[in-house]
Every structure is written in C-alpha cells, then in structure tokens.
C-alpha cells in the first residue's frame, strides 16, 4: 500500500516527507476533506459526531498479513487488549493470526465472535480461579501460567474440554532483559510482578512443578519484555536466554519443550522520527539468533510465537475531535480544548504518551504555533497533546485529527465524568462500517439499580 500525498492543504504540507504517521491509505479530497481509504474524515465526523475513532480495515489486515509472512512457520497471536471488537477478531482469523486474551471478558468476546478456542492463548498475572476454569473448560489452546498458585489450580481442574485432552500451558519467564521503555510497560526485568525469574531458579522450579502434573502439558516457555521496544537486540538477548534455559531444562529433566513465545511490544511511531520495529527485519534477526543459539546448545528449533498488539492496529487508527474552546493565557500559551480527553484516550495521562494532531476540514494560511490540546475532564492532567503545533487561527468548531490512535484507546476508554464512550467506525474501499456505536444515556444508566426500571 502506498500513501497518497495531501499537499494541497497548507497545514498538512510536508507531512509525508517527514514521516508523520498518517494511516497508509490517506488521501486528499475536495474542500479540505481528508480521505482514509476513500472515506472522508470530515464527513464521518458530521455523520457520527465526535469524538470518533476511525480504523482502516485494509491497513489492519495488511499489517497482520505482513506479520504472517515475516514469521511464516511460527504463529502470530494478535494481542487483543490493544483493540478488540468481534469484527476485529474476525479480521485476525481471516488473516491467519491467533488471538491473545488476558481476561474472561476478552475470552467471552472472542468466543462470541466465533474464534476457534484452539487459536486462543490466555495470559494474565492474576487470572481469577473462575477465569482459569472458564478458559480451561472452553478448551482454550494455551494458558500462560504466571504463578505457583495457577499451576496447582489448573492441575486441580483435571483434563480439559472433552475430558481427555491435557491442558497445554506455557510458562511465563522473566528473562531479566529490560526493554528500556516506560517503566509502566517495562515487563521483562526481574523485579516486577510477572512470571518466574530465570536467574533465581524459580523458572526451573516451576517447570518441574508443571511436569509433575499429568493433567498439564508443558508446551513451552513465554516471555514479554515490554512495550514500545524499538531495539531488536532486546528481543535477541531474550531469545538467547530462553533457548539456553530450554536446553538446561532438557539437560536436567529430559524434556524437550517444543514452543517459544517471545511476546509482543514492537515499537510504532507516534510522531515523525520516532523509531519503529518492523516485523520483517525483526523476524530475520530472530531466526538467525535462534538458529545459532539452538546450534550452540544442540537444541532442536522450537516453534516461535510472537504477540504483536500495537504494531497491528495503532497506525491504522485516527481519532477526530471538535475544538470546543481556545484560550490564550497571559504569558502567551495556547490551550485548545476538545470534546474528548482522558476518557477516550488515557495514554497521555498514564504514560506521557506523545501524539501528532492536525487541523482538517478548512483552509488556513497561518503558520503553525505551539499549542497544548487538552481534554474536557475536570483534571489539570487531562492533556491529550502537550506540544502540538496548530495553525495560529485555530478556533472553536474546528476539526482535529489525532494520528496513530488505533491501539490502547477504545480498549482503555472509560466513562469518567459520565461521558458516553465514542463509536468506532472502520473504513475500506470508500465504505464505512460502524464497529461500535456511541454509548447512550441508557447504556450509562443500565447498571444503576437505584433507577426505576432497572
């Protein structure tokens, strides 16, 4: 897919040259309209209101297919916490991906969407006994075990599904590799709450435990070293350590584990110039590293699984906001308040995540000035874009598009301030489809049992 230039709009000039993360199929329409795969964003905002999330189906499918090609011979499990709707799950099935879930809710939705249970992998550092038992009974393909408690709970559930099949499990290992990313998403170090540490011997001890339960089949090892990781070396080092551990497990238990899951976390560019980790080069480097590590350790090549979430959906999505007010403070700072905020995208307040935002829908010949785009919530921390650049004549009623919002936005949305959650519309080949409708007041009040009628 190739991007179409949108040079005619003054405020967007230069975006393609400097790598601003527009979705792949962005183009320029009449009267300052911006087209996403042939569908006008300004028109969508008029039809569905704002805030509105728009996702390019073609781009999601293309990125999924690119992973399939890059990791051919292994498995690619889409991390559904990044963005999950029934339609999204079906796209992933169409493209030959498996599905990663990490809660009973995600599992239920995947099941309702018709995802075959053997293509589902379940994670989580604190799965409840109920979630474990539901996953096990429904025949989930693999459960990633995270603690000793889970091992005994799963074993106590007995054989799964048809009563004969042993539940396949992967063991989550902390390989002690840091992804050098934001602390909240740096999940491979030894000093946090996930999995079993490699260096302390806890991982080997957990392996012995799983092997001692005839109800469980230890299919392999799992690790996930963090998110927004751009340096392939972090993955290569994790892979070397995991292969060495698998060889050690073989040496001391005689068991050859057939699978190695290296998690997700591949970086995407939220702004021009941000580093990304592309699947092709990563897959090639991993293959070479794993080949060599297996040779050195005389270990048979395991089947590799990879779990991208963000890398599949982030850049395919944009969010449209309407400007509500514009304030210039005494010291010259410019605050642009929009009709959404931390309820539809908590990432800036959680991780200080940066985004790119642009004015669309009208002409401007004014130069860009520094601006802070803030949300509508009653918190000083409700900032969507701290260091935006917007045309100097930005005014109420203007339409803003925030780029690279396909991942961890809809899935992290809340009803803070009793704001109705935004719809999600997908576009493909000039047609739009509503994946998730806007929340209504009835939706908001349905669970309040103090109201008549509930």
**Which positions are catalytic?**
378
Nearer to ligand PLP, 263 or 361 (CB): 263
Q: Crossing angle of helices 86-94/57-70, nearest 10°?
A: 40
Task: Give me 350's structure tokens.
Answer: 């959680």
Among 25, 221, 245, 311, the residue binding ligand PLP under the rule CB under 6 A is 311
Stretch that binds ligand PLP, among 19-27, 61-69, 250-258, 264-272 (CB under 6 A): 264-272
Among 32, 310, 347, 377, the residue binding ligand PLP under the rule CB under 6 A is 310
Nearer to ligand PLP, 195 or 391 (CB): 195
The minimum distance between CB 123 and ligand PLP, in angstroms, equals 5
The minimum distance between CB 318 and ligand PLP, in angstroms, equals 18
Where helices occur in 336-452 by DSSP H, the ranges are 347-351, 441-445
Stretch that binds ligand PLP, among 7-15, 108-116, 259-267, 271-279 (CB under 6 A): 259-267
Helix (H) or strand (E) holding 56: strand 52-56
Residues facing residue 120 across a β-bridge: 99
The minimum distance between CB 150 and ligand PLP, in angstroms, equals 14
Residues 64-83 binding ligand PLP (CB under 6 A) are: 79, 81-82
Cα separation, 245 vs 232, in Å, equals 20
- By the rule CB under 6 A, 40 interacts with ligand PLP: no
Among 119, 136, 266, 376, the residue binding ligand PLP under the rule CB under 6 A is 266
Nearer to ligand PLP, 125 or 297 (CB): 125
DSSP letter for each residue of 100-130:
EE-SHHHHHHHHHTT--GGGEEE--TT--HH
Stretch that binds ligand PLP, among 301-309, 338-346, 353-361, 366-374 (CB under 6 A): 301-309
The minimum distance between CB 85 and ligand PLP, in angstroms, equals 16
The minimum distance between CB 224 and ligand PLP, in angstroms, equals 4
Nearer to ligand PLP, 230 or 255 (CB): 230
Residue nearest ligand PLP, CB atom distance:
309
x/- binding map, residues 218-247, to ligand PLP, per CB under 6 A? ------x--x--------------------
Nearer to ligand PLP, 369 or 412 (CB): 412
Where helices occur in 49-168 by DSSP H, the ranges are 57-70, 86-94, 104-112, 129-137, 148-156
Helix (H) or strand (E) holding 145: strand 142-145
Strands 52-56 and 424-428 turn out to be: parallel
Cα separation, 52 vs 344, in Å, equals 9
Cα separation, 176 vs 172, in Å, equals 12
SS3 13: coil
x/- binding map, residues 118-147, to ligand PLP, per CB under 6 A? -----x------------------------
The minimum distance between CB 408 and ligand PLP, in angstroms, equals 7
Where helices occur in 113-264 by DSSP H, the ranges are 129-137, 148-156, 202-211, 232-253
Among 265, 341, 361, 391, the residue binding ligand PLP under the rule CB under 6 A is 265
Stretch that binds ligand PLP, among 132-140, 211-219, 272-280, 306-314 (CB under 6 A): 306-314
Half-sphere exposure of 107 (CA within 13 A, CB side): 25
Among 264, 279, 317, 423, the residue binding ligand PLP under the rule CB under 6 A is 264
Nearer to ligand PLP, 50 or 228 (CB): 228
Q: Is 11 exposed, middle or buried (0-12, 13-18, 19+ CB in 10 A)?
A: buried
The minimum distance between CB 6 and ligand PLP, in angstroms, equals 28
Cα separation, 310 vs 412, in Å, equals 13
x/- binding map, residues 81-100, to ligand PLP, per CB under 6 A? xx-----------------x
Total number of residues shown for the chain:
454
Residues facing residue 7 across a β-bridge: none
Residue 315: φ, ψ to 5°? -80, -10
Cα separation, 44 vs 66, in Å, equals 28
Stretch that binds ligand PLP, among 31-39, 260-268, 318-326, 398-406 (CB under 6 A): 260-268
Considering CB under 6 A, how many residues would be counted as binding ligand PLP?
16
The minimum distance between CB 307 and ligand PLP, in angstroms, equals 4
Bond prior to 51 in cis (omega within 30° of 0): yes
Cα separation, 200 vs 177, in Å, equals 14
Task: Give me 140's structure tokens.
Answer: 């989930």
The minimum distance between CB 387 and ligand PLP, in angstroms, equals 23
Neighbours of 312 (CB within 10 A): 32
Cα separation, 402 vs 22, in Å, equals 9
Among 179, 220, 232, 263, the residue binding ligand PLP under the rule CB under 6 A is 263
Binding residues for ligand PLP, rule: CB under 6 A, are 79, 81-82, 100, 123, 224, 227, 263-266, 307-311
């Amino acid at each position: 897919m190739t991007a179409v230039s949108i040079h005619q709009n003054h405020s967007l000039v230069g975006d393609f040259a400097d790598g601003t993360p527009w979705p792949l199929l962005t183009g320029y329409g009449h009267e300052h309209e911006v087209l996403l795969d042939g569908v006008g964003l300004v028109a969508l905002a008029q039809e569905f209101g704002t805030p509105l999330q728009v996702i390019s189906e073609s781009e999601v499918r293309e990125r999924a297919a690119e992973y399939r090609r890059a990791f051919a011979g292994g498995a690619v499990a889409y991390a559904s916490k990044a963005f999950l709707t029934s339609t999204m799950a079906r796209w992933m099935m169409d493209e030959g991906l498996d599905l990663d879930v990490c809660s009973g809710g995600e599992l239920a939705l995947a099941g309702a969407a018709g995802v075959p249970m053997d293509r589902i992998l379940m994670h989580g550092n604190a799965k409840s006994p109920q979630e474990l038992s539901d996953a096990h009974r429904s025949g989930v393909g693999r459960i990633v075990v995270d603690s000793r408690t889970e091992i005994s709970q799963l074993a106590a559930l007995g054989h799964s599904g048809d009563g004969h099949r042993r539940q396949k499990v992967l063991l989550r290992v902390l390989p002690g590799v840091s992804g050098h990313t934001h602390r909240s998403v740096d999940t491979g170090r030894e000093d946090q709450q996930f999995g079993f540490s490699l260096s302390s011997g806890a991982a080997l001890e957990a392996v012995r435990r799983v092997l001692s339960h005839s109800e469980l089949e230890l299919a392999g090892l799992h690790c996930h070293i963090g998110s927004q990781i751009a340096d392939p070396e972090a993955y290569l080092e994790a892979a070397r350590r995991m292969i060495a551990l698998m060889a050690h497990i073989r040496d001391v238990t005689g068991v050859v584990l057939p699978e190695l899951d290296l998690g997700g976390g591949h970086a995407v560019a939220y702004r021009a110039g941000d580093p990304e980790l592309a699947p092709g080069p990563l897959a090639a480097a991993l293959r070479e590293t794993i080949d060599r590590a297996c040779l050195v350790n005389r270990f048979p090549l395991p089947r590799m699984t990879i779990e991208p979430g963000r890398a599949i959906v982030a850049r395919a999505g944009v969010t449209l906001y309407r400007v509500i007010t514009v304030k210039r403070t005494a010291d010259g700072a410019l605050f642009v308040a929009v009709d959404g905020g931390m309820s539809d995208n908590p990432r800036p307040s959680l991780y200080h995540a940066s985004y790119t935002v642009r004015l669309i829908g009208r002409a401007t010949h004014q130069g860009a000035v520094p601006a802070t785009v803030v949300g509508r919530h009653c918190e000083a921390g409700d900032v969507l874009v701290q260091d935006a650049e917007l045309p100097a004549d930005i005014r109420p009623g203007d339409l803003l598009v925030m780029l690279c919002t396909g991942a961890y936005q809809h899935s992290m949305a809340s009803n803070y301030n009793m704001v109705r959650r935004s719809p999600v519309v997908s576009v493909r080949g000039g047609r739009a489809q509503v994946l998730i409708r806007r929340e209504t007041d009835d939706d908001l009040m349905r669970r309040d049992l103090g109201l008549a009628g509930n």
